[in-house]
Structure 1
Amino acid sequence: MTMPYRTVPTADSARLFADLDERSREVFRHVVEGYLATGEPVGSRNLARLLSMPLSPASVRNVMADLELAGLLYAPHISAGRMPTERGLRFFVDAMLEIGDLDSEETSRIESQVAAAATGTSLDSLLSEATVMLSGLTRGAGVVVTGKQNPPLKHIEFVRLDAAKALVVLVGEDGAVENRLLDLPPGLPSSALIEAGNYLNAHLRGLTLAELRAQVEQRRASMEQELDALVTGLIDAGLAVSVGPSDGRQLIVRGQANLLDDLKAAEDVERIRLLFADLETQKDVIDLLSRAEGGEGVRIFIGSENKLFSLSGSSMIAAPFRDSRQTILGVVGVIGPTRLNYSRIVPMVDYTARVVSRILERKR
C-alpha cells in the first residue's frame, strides 16, 4: 500500500530544516527516534555508536547542545541524555518523519474487523468497532467524532431510578438504545411516568426524535387537554433531555486502559490522569477532532499546541471519513502520549478512515 500522507511544514519547521546541517539533522533524528521507541532520554555515548558518520561522544554532545539552544531538545535531568521538546516533535513530524507502509496482515485486520461491524444497520456499531480496532493496533485510545445519528424511534420509556431521577430510554428502529438522565419534580407519581411514555409511543409511528418533538408542539393544545400538567411537563422535559448537545456531535472513545500499559515513572501516572480528565471533557475533544475535518488527509496535534492537551502532554492523530457524496461525516483517530509511533500510526489511521469511507459509500 502506498501511503498518501504528506506533511506540510510550518514556516518555523521549514526555517529550522534549512538552518540545520546534515550532521545536526542526523543527531536530532536519532534522538527523536530513540525517544519514540523507549520513552527515555538518549545519551551521547550510545548515539555516537548509531550515527553513520564518525563522531566522538564529545562532538555529539556539542551538537546536542546546539539543538537544545534551538529549542528542539532538552535534558530532563542533570548529566542525562536529551529528549525532544514539543517544538522538536513538531519539527520532526513536519520535516523528517518517514511514513511506513502497512503490511498485508495489518490491512486485512483493519478491513475484516471494520467490515464485520458493517453488516448491521447501526453506524454507531461500525464506528465503535473502528475505534476498538485502532486502540488494539496502536495501544492508544481510539476516538471517533461524528454527527449524531437520528434514526426513527421504535419505543420510548421513562424508568424511575429514585424519587428525584429517571432514565429516558430511547429505542431506535435500528436497535440502538440510548439512555438519558432526567430530573423529576418532587412528588411525581410513577403513574405519570407510565402515562407520559404511553402518550409518546402512541404518536411515534416511525418518527425521528426531531420529528416527534415537532409533532408534540403541533399537538400542544390537544395534549394539554388530554393530560394533566405534571405529565405534560414530564413529556417536555423528557424530549428536551433526549436531544442532547445542541451541536449534534457525539464522541466515541475506546481503549483508554491501553494508556496504562507503559507507565515508567510517577510523572507518567500524573500525565495519564490528566489525559483521562481531558477525555471526560467531551466538548473539548469533539472540538479538537472537528478541526481535523478542515483539510485533506491525516492531521497530527502535539501536546500544548492545543489547549486540551496542554497539561497532559498528549498527541492525537486523526483523519476524516466521507459518504458517497464525499461529504465529511466525522473523524477517526488515536490519542496517546507525545511519543506515539507516528510513522506506524499515521498510515493506520489514514487506512481506517478510508475503509470506513468505502463502507459508508456502499451503504448510502
Structure 2
Amino acid sequence: MTERFDPSRRTISPESGGFSQLNERSREIFRHIVESYLTYGGPVGSRQLARLLPIALSPASVRNVMQDLEELGLIYAPHISAGRLPTERGLRFFVDAMLEIGDIGQPERAQIEAQVRASSKEHAFEAVLSDAMSMLSGLTRSAGVVVTTKENARLKHVEFVRLDLDRALAVLVAADGSIENRIVQTPRDLPASALIEAGNYLNVRIAGRTLTEAKAEVEAGHAAAEAELGELTARLVAAGLASWVDTSSQGQQLIVRGQANLLENLTALEDLERIRLLFADLETQKDVIDLLSRAEGGEGVRIFIGSENKLFSLSGSSMIAAPFRDEQQRVVGVLGVIGPTRLNYARIVPMVDYTSKIISSLVHGS
C-alpha cells in the first residue's frame, strides 16, 4: 500500500535547504539517529552509531557528519556530551522524504475489521466510533481521537407525540439506531390527527437523507406542504425539523479514548511533563477539533508533528489522522491517534488508514 501524503503538509522539501546535498553516508547516520529515537526515545552517540552502521566509519568521522546534520537543523544535543536526537524539523524531513510505510499486517487488519463490525451490530454509530478509537489506541499505545457531527447521520423515521396542549415530543430515529428527542411548541388548536399527518409527511421525504438534506427538501416544498397539510401542520413539520438541525449544527463532537496509554514507557521526568501538557491539550476540545478538521482536505493520511501546529507547541506531540467519507465521497469525520513525537509512524499510518476505510464502509452501509 502506498500512502498518499498531501504535499501541502511538507514543511521541509527534500530538494531544498541543502537537504538534497546529503550524501548516502549522511542520510544513513541521520536515519539511524531517528530510528533509534523512535524505538528507544533516547539520544544516540557517535560510538554507538559507528557500531550500528553498515559502513565502516570511526566515531570521529561519525561526529563530523553529526555536526553537519546539526547545522542543518535536523538533529540536536539535549545535553552537553550527550548523543543526538532528531529535531521536529528533522522528524518532518524523515517522514516526508525517508519514511518507508508498508501494508498493515493481516492479523491487525482482521482484528480491526472484526471489532468494528461486531460493534456496529450492537451499537449506534457514535458508540461504534468510541469502540473503534479504544481499539486503535490499544493497538498503537496512543490516544485515539475522532471528530464527527450528528448531522451526518442518515435518517430513518420520525414521529410526533403530544405532551400537552401546546407542546409535542419530536422523535427522530437515525439509520444507525440512534434516537434524538426534542420538545417543540405547537399551536394550541392543533388537532391530534395533525401530529400523525406531520410524521407521515416527513417519513416519505427524510428516509436515507441527512438532517441538512432533509431540511433543504422540506423548505423547498414549503408551499406544497401548506397546500397538502394545512398551515398549522406545515408549521409543525418545519418546527420539528428545525429543532434537530439547530442542535446538531452547534458544533462537532470529539471522542477521545486511551489517554492512559500515553503514560507508558516514559523515559524521563520531562516526558511526564510533556504528557501532562498533552492531557491539557486534549481537554481543549475546540483546538483538537480544529486540528482534526485540517485533515479533511487530504485524500489519505495526514501527519502533524510538534510545534508545526499551535495545539502541540508545548507538549511537542504528533497526530496521525485520516478522514472517513459517505457514499458520495463527502468527508463526514476524521479519526486518528495522538501521542509523543516518537510514534511508530511506519506502523501506525497504515492502521489509521485502514480504520478510516472500515468506518467509511459502515457509513456507506456496506
Q: Could you say which TM-score interval applies, normalised by the shorter chain?
A: 0.7 to 0.9
Out of 346, 351, 354, which is 1:351 matched to?
Answer: 354
Residue 59 (structure 1) aligns with: 61
Q: CA deviation at 1:289?
A: 0.5
Question: Do the aligned partners of residues 27 and 87 (structure 1) sit closer, same or farther apart at CA in structure 2, a change above 3 Å counting?
Answer: same
* Other-structure match for 1:298: 301
- Map of 2:75 onto structure 1: 73
Q: 1:339 aligns with which of 314, 322, 342?
A: 342
**Residue matched to 2:247:** 243
Q: Is the 8 A contact 2:6 2:299 kept in 1?
A: no
SS of the counterpart of 2:338? strand
Number of the residue aligned with 2:310: 307
> Contact 2:134/2:257 (CA < 8 Å) preserved in 1?
yes
Identify the residue that residue 133 of structure 2 maps to in structure 1. Answer: 131
Amino acid at match of 2:14: S
Shift of 1:176: 4.3
Q: Name the Cα RMSD after superposition.
A: 3.7
The alignment status of 1:287 with 2:287, answered yes or no, reads no
SS at match of 2:342: coil
Answering whether residue 290 of structure 2 is matched by residue 258 of structure 1, we say: no
What SS class does the counterpart of residue 49 from structure 1 fall into? helix
Distance in 1 (alpha carbons) for counterparts of 2:342 and 2:26: 21
Unaligned 5+ runs, structure 1: 157-169, 180-192, 224-238
Q: Which amino acid aligns with 1:276?
A: F
Question: In structure 2, which of residues 93, 103, 111 is the aligned counterpart of residue 101 of structure 1?
Answer: 103
**CA-CA distance at 1:11 after TM superposition:** 5.2
Range with bigger deviation, 29-38 or 123-132:
123-132
Match of 2:121, SS? coil
3-state SS of paired residue (1:301): strand
Residue 120 of structure 1: how far off its partner (Å): 4.3
Question: Greater shift after overlay, 111-120 or 35-44?
Answer: 111-120
C-alpha distance in 1 between matches for 2:139 and 2:65: 36
TM-score normalised to structure 2 length: 0.75
| Alpha-carbon contact 1:14-1:95 (below 8 Å) kept | no
Conservation of the 8 A alpha-carbon contact between 1:34 and 1:42? yes
User: What code does the residue aligned with 1:14 have?
Assistant: E
Secondary structure of the equivalent of 2:335? strand
Are 1:14 and 2:15 an aligned pair? yes
- Paired amino acid for 1:37: T
Alignment pair present for 1:40 and 2:58: no
Instruction: Calculate percent identity across the aligned residue pairs.
Output: 62
Offset at 1:101? 2.1
Q: What are the Cα deviations for residues 86-136 of structure 1, in whole angstroms up to 9, with x where unaligned?
A: 000000000000112221101101111111122246221221122111101
Please report how far the alpha carbon of residue 21 of structure 1 lies from its aligned counterpart in structure 2 after TM superposition.
Answer: 1.1
Deviations 1:121-171 (A, max 9, x none): 622122112211110110000111112246667899xxxxxxxxxxxxx98
Distance 1:177 1:62, change over 3 A: farther
Alignment of 1:146 with 2:158, yes or no, is no
Which runs of 5 or more structure 2 residues have no equivalent in the other structure?
162-169, 220-230, 237-242
- What count of residue pairs does the alignment treat as equivalent? 320
Distance 2:99 2:71 in 1: 22
Calculate the TM-score normalised by the size of structure 1.
Answer: 0.76
| C-alpha separation in 1, matches of 2:11 and 2:149 | 30
- Which amino acid in the other structure matches residue 243 of structure 1? T
**Mapped partners of 2:281, 2:159: distance in 1:** 35
Residue 364 of structure 2 corresponds to 361
Secondary structure, aligned partner of 2:147 = strand
Name 2:84's counterpart in structure 1. Answer: 82
